[in-house]
Amino acid sequence: MGRELMPEELRELLAAYALDAVTDPEELAALEAFLARDEQARQELADLRETASFLAYVDEEAPASLWERIESSLGARPPRLTLRLPTPDSVVSSPGRRRGVAQWWRAAAAVAAAAALGVIVYQQVEVSDQAGRIDHLAASVADRGLAQAARAAAMDSRSHALMLVSRDQTMRAKTVMMPDGTGYLMENDLPPLTRTHTYQMWAITGDPLRPTYVSLGILGRDPDVSAFRADGPVLGFAVTVEEMPGVTAPHHVPVVEGRFA
């Protein structure tokens, strides 16, 4: 083909493309680049495919045995993963190792928050196989500190618990936050996600009528206990599902959310 196609020519090709009737590699590459940069073209293609689907309006019944084969191929639910973070003793070095319970807990929370940030930075370096890297981190870290820190916070009389709930009330996630902003996502029934997505936690701040969502970090695709730190006044928390490696602002409606009274 050689020359670059003009937008009008590419639009002319969209209908044939919608019918899978474009096979020239150069035309296909030009169309795909056009679609990647032109929202109107993408919508037009969606409309064309919607229209074409009516051509296939046939009264045919799929074989019952076919569903049985599909059902048997679905496989088991993926195993739950636990994102575990380093214990204070293994990461935080301090000349004096005399720590009271409260100080140990604060150190664990600080380490957890720093490790979560490190996870985010680490994952921004490599785009591929992000879920595998979280799994690797989870498997490589001791499991004592975070869960204990979360339980201690929950029992602390100064903490504030907040239950995040989905709109249909089918999913819940418990959060606990201390006065200094450290907090934990604890018991939750968030279902595991595919490897290309992650849960991300947000602090709801600012005007209650027009709140701002501030990222508190990604939680992985199957969070267990997770630590976070929220600085400043917080109206509540929310969790969204985002594409790996996470986003700077929510791209989707929260799957669970809660506001302090």
Q: Output DSSP code: residue 129.
A: T
* 172 near other proteins (CB under 8 A): no
Q: Which amino acid is at 198?
A: T
Q: Which of 1, 12, 121, 231 binds other proteins (CB under 8 A)?
A: 12
Residue among 19 and 163 whose Cβ is closer to other proteins: 19
Q: Which of 1, 7, 29, 43 binds other proteins (CB under 8 A)?
A: 43
CB of 259 to other proteins, least distance (A): 23
| CA gap 30, 94 in Å, rounded | 59
Q: Output DSSP code: residue 232.
A: S
Residue among 40 and 140 whose Cβ is closer to other proteins: 40
Residue among 49 and 97 whose Cβ is closer to other proteins: 49
Show the binding pattern over residues 17-36: x = contacts other proteins (CB under 8 A), - = does not: -xxxxxxx------------
Q: Which stretch binds other proteins (CB under 8 A): 70-78, 82-90, 213-221, 228-236?
A: 70-78
Q: Which of 181, 192, 206, 211 binds other proteins (CB under 8 A)?
A: 192
Q: Could you tell me the CA-to-CA distances from 256 to 3, 120, 194 in Å, in that order?
A: 51, 21, 18
| CA gap 114, 88 in Å, rounded | 11
Touching other proteins, residues 79-98 (CB under 8 A) = none
Q: How many CB atoms lie within 10 A of CB 191?
A: 14
| CA gap 237, 260 in Å, rounded | 9
- Half-sphere exposure (Cβ direction) of 36: Cα atoms closer than 13 Å: 6
Q: Which stretch binds other proteins (CB under 8 A): 71-79, 150-158, 179-187, 232-240?
A: 71-79
Helix (H, G, I), strand (E, B) or coil at 95: coil
Which of 226, 241, 197 lies closest to 78 in space, CA to CA?
197
Residues of this chain that bind other proteins (CB under 8 A): 11-16, 18-24, 40, 42-44, 46-63, 66-67, 69-71, 73-74, 77, 168, 170, 191-194, 196-197
